[in-house]
């Protein structure tokens, strides 16, 4: 019920459009009733061979209802789908707004393919909410009231027959279908999500799957899931056919009951025989409003399950909540850790254990250590992805908890090992750092990152597409693009998190020189396990199991012959 309340809350702002769509849908069915009833009346009157002029009004009525049904149907589809797409747009925005604060801490337990399935498949299911769940019962009720009143003007028993058959078809048949389809909607949503996830995972890992000869294994898994989805869909189609047959049977029963009662009234002289066919065919046509009702419970179950999956993320509490107060203005661009303790879960080992260090304004500090030593955890805390349990982190003279996450990130530029390049143009990838930047600023940043000459060699220059994940670029070009982003942002604090990882020695040496230029005038934190070039750092911290076990300058640490010296010797870097 919670998910349905949330969906209704999203629909309510469009109540005027919804009301118009309901009216148009009712008018469409009314035109269909009018077309059939007027046609029957015209045939009955024509059989008596009256003057042609006496039939002109009826002929015009047939033409009017025939044309109006098409016009109202078009307008109804236009308005109802406009409402649906507006609702879907709101759901997508709400989903992203709820998802963004959760990254990355709250999303560790979700696969990227599953998240993609939720924002695509589960959102798309909600298009049935108005079209196939809310609208059909209301339209059926309006048609019953309108046509029931019309029948009552001839005899109240006509309305009683219509109401009884409407209730059986509108309530009884959906109840039967609900019993027969118990859980089918939920299973279909879950199976579709699983299928989408399997397909996405296979596409993301296609190279590895082919390399290890596991293509047939993954294909068989997808086929099994697809077969389950097909079986569920086959059951839904069977139930849809059953509901249509039962509703059609009740429509015919209703028509025959109206016809039998009408014959009795004609014999009693209470009803003109010319009206008999009109009432019968009008009753048969009115059941058009009831055919969508049988599968309403099924569609409702699908919507509810999909909405629950969306709400699981939208209403999840983020790891760190933004402060309601205004963020302070930093007195200086310094960073201080004071006996910080941090772990990723209550049962996890400490990632950082009583960690203390300071980076003064425009200072350069490097943190090195083996994998798992806690280097990246420091970056996660600085960027506000996680919150520490004990200790204190100061940013610009104030506790980092006094800032909003966005305010902190405004002051920080980050170059990571796995810089994400969007499947867009080079210009669009650069503007991610500063959307309002002009061409001069873009070119200046690209020149400083030694990227401009390469861009100019491309046929479309800065409007060239780089492919999915920047596959059209080399590793060095991707890193230069990342550096150009940071230059364009011009943040006073720079974090380099394994920025040279995966580059060949030539590119590493070349890009490292550009990075040192990037450090000028900025407070810099370098996270790395590669020790080349660290002699330029003001201080180097050696981490092991979340603790600083050595600290000092490059040459000082080499003389200590501790862990830093061991790491240096393992990398076989010649001394200068």
- The answer to whether residue 492 sits within a structural domain is no
- In eight-state DSSP terms, residue 425 is B
- In eight-state DSSP terms, residue 120 is I
Angle at which helix 439-448 crosses helix 505-519, to 10 degrees, equals 120
- The answer to whether residue 123 sits within a structural domain is yes
Average pLDDT of the chain to the nearest whole number: 84
- Identify the pLDDT of residue 8: 83
* Residue 284: domain span: 2-314
- Identify the pLDDT of residue 254: 92
pLDDT in tens, 549-571: 888 988 888 888 888 888 888 87
- Identify the pLDDT of residue 510: 65
The rounded Cα 178 to chain-centroid distance in angstroms is 29
pLDDT at residue 75 is higher than 90: yes
Q: Which of 11-25, 32-46, 110-124, 183-197 has the lowest mean pLDDT?
A: 110-124
CB 87 within 8 A of CB 126: yes
Higher pLDDT, 468 or 231: 231
Angle at which helix 2-11 crosses helix 52-99, to 10 degrees, equals 120
Spatial distance between the Cα atoms of 566 and 92, rounded to a whole number of angstroms = 51
**Cα angle 138-17-306, degrees, rounded to a multiple of 5:** 70
pLDDT in tens, 427-466: 998 998 888 888 888 888 888 878 888 888 988 888 998 8
- The answer to whether residue 367 sits within a structural domain is no
pLDDT in tens, 291-346: 888 888 888 888 888 888 888 877 777 666 666 567 788 888 889 999 999 888 77
Q: DSSP readout, 156-193?
A: HHHHHHHHHHHHIIIIIHHHHHHHHTTTHHHHHHHHHH
pLDDT in tens, 522-539: 898 988 877 777 888 889
Cβ-proximal residues to 249 (8 Å cutoff; 6+ apart), any chain? none
pLDDT in tens, 391-402: 999 988 888 888
Longest dimension (CA), the chain: 119
pLDDT at residue 502 is higher than 60: no
Cβ-proximal residues to 24 (8 Å cutoff; 6+ apart), any chain? 72, 75, 76, 79, 80
- Identify the pLDDT of residue 547: 87
Q: Domain total for the chain?
A: 1
- The answer to whether residue 69 sits within a structural domain is yes
- The answer to whether residue 34 sits within a structural domain is yes
- The answer to whether residue 78 sits within a structural domain is yes
pLDDT at residue 71 is higher than 90: yes
**pLDDT classification of 21: cutoffs 50, 70, 90:** very high
- Identify the pLDDT of residue 375: 82
pLDDT at residue 83 is higher than 60: yes
**pLDDT classification of 413: cutoffs 50, 70, 90:** confident
Most confident listed range (273-282, 308-317, 411-420, 563-572): 273-282
- The answer to whether residue 150 sits within a structural domain is yes
- Identify the pLDDT of residue 575: 45
pLDDT at residue 6 is higher than 50: yes
Span 89-93, average pLDDT: 86
pLDDT at residue 501 is higher than 80: no
pLDDT at residue 574 is higher than 60: no
Q: Which of 388, 396, 284 is nearest to 334 (CA)?
A: 396
pLDDT in tens, 39-54: 988 888 888 788 877 7
**What is the token pair recorded at 113?**
């393919």
- Identify the pLDDT of residue 105: 64
CATH number at residue 25: 1.20.1560.10
**pLDDT classification of 573: cutoffs 50, 70, 90:** very low
Span 117-143, average pLDDT: 86
- The answer to whether residue 519 sits within a structural domain is no
Spatial distance between the Cα atoms of 436 and 448, rounded to a whole number of angstroms = 19
- Identify the pLDDT of residue 322: 63
Spatial distance between the Cα atoms of 560 and 566, rounded to a whole number of angstroms = 10
pLDDT at residue 543 is higher than 80: yes
């Amino acid at each position: 019920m919670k998910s349905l309340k949330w969906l209704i809350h999203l629909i309510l702002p469009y109540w005027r459009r919804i009301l118009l769509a309901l009216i148009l849908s009712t008018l469409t069915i009314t035109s269909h009733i009018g077309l059939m009833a007027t046609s029957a009346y015209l045939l009955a009157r024509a059989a008596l061979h009256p003057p042609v002029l006496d039939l002109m009004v009826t002929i015009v009525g047939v033409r009017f209802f025939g044309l109006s049904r098409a016009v109202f149907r078009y307008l109804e589809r236009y308005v109802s789908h406009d409402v649906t797409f507006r609702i879907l747009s709101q759901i997508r925005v709400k989903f992203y707004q709820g998802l963004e604060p959760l990254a990355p801490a709250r999303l560790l337990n979700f696969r990227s393919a599953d998240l993609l399935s939720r924002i695509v498949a589960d959102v798309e299911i909600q298009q049935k909410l108005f079209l196939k769940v809310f609208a059909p019962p209301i339209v059926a009720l309006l048609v019953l009231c309108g046509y029931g009143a019309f029948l009552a003007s001839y005899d109240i028993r006509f309305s009683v027959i219509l109401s009884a058959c409407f209730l059986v078809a509108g309530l009884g048949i959906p109840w039967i279908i609900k019993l027969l389809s118990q859980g089918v909607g939920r299973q279909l949503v879950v199976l579709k999500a699983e299928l989408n996830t399997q397909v996405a995972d296979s596409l993301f890992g296609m190279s590895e799957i082919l390399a290890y000869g596991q293509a047939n294994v993954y294909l068989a898994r997808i086929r099994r899931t697809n077969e389950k989805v097909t079986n569920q869909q086959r059951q839904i189609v069977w139930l849809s056919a059953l509901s249509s047959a039962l509703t059609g049977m009740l429509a015919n029963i209703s028509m025959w009951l109206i016809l039998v009662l009408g014959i009795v009234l004609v014999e009693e002289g209470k009803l003109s025989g010319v009206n008999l066919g009109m009432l019968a065919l009008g009753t048969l046509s009115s059941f058009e409003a009831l055919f969508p009702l049988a599968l309403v419970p099924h569609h409702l179950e699908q919507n509810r399950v999909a909405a629950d999956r969306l709400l699981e993320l939208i209403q999840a509490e983020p790891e760190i909540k933004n402060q309601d107060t205004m963020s302070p203005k930093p007195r200086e661009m310094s960073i201080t850790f004071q006996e910080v303790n941090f772990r990723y879960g209550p049962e996890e080992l400490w990632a950082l254990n009583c960690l203390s260090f300071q980076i003064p304004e425009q200072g350069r500090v490097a943190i090195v250590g083996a994998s798992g030593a806690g280097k990246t955890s420091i970056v996660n805390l600085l960027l506000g992805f996680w919150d520490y349990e004990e200790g204190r982190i100061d940013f610009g003279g104030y506790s980092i908890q006094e800032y909003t996450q966005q305010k902190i990130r405004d002051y920080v530029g980050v170059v990571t090992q796995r810089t994400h390049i969007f499947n867009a143009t080079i210009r669009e990838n650069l503007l991610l750092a500063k959307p309002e930047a002009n061409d001069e600023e873009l070119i200046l940043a690209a020149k400083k990152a030694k990227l401009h000459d390469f861009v100019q060699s491309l046929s479309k220059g800065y409007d060239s597409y780089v492919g999915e994940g920047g596959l059209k670029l080399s590793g060095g070009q991707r890193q230069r693009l990342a550096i150009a982003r940071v230059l364009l942002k011009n943040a006073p604090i720079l974090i380099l998190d394994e920025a040279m990882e995966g580059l060949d020695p030539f590119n590493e040496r070349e890009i490292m020189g550009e990075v040192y230029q990037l450090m000028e005038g900025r407070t810099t934190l370098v996270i790395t396990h590669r020790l080349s070039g660290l002699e330029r750092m003001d201080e180097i911290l050696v981490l092991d199991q979340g603790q600083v076990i050595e600290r000092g300058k490059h040459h000082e640490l080499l003389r200590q012959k501790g862990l830093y010296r061991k790491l240096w010797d393992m990398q076989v870097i010649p001394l200068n």
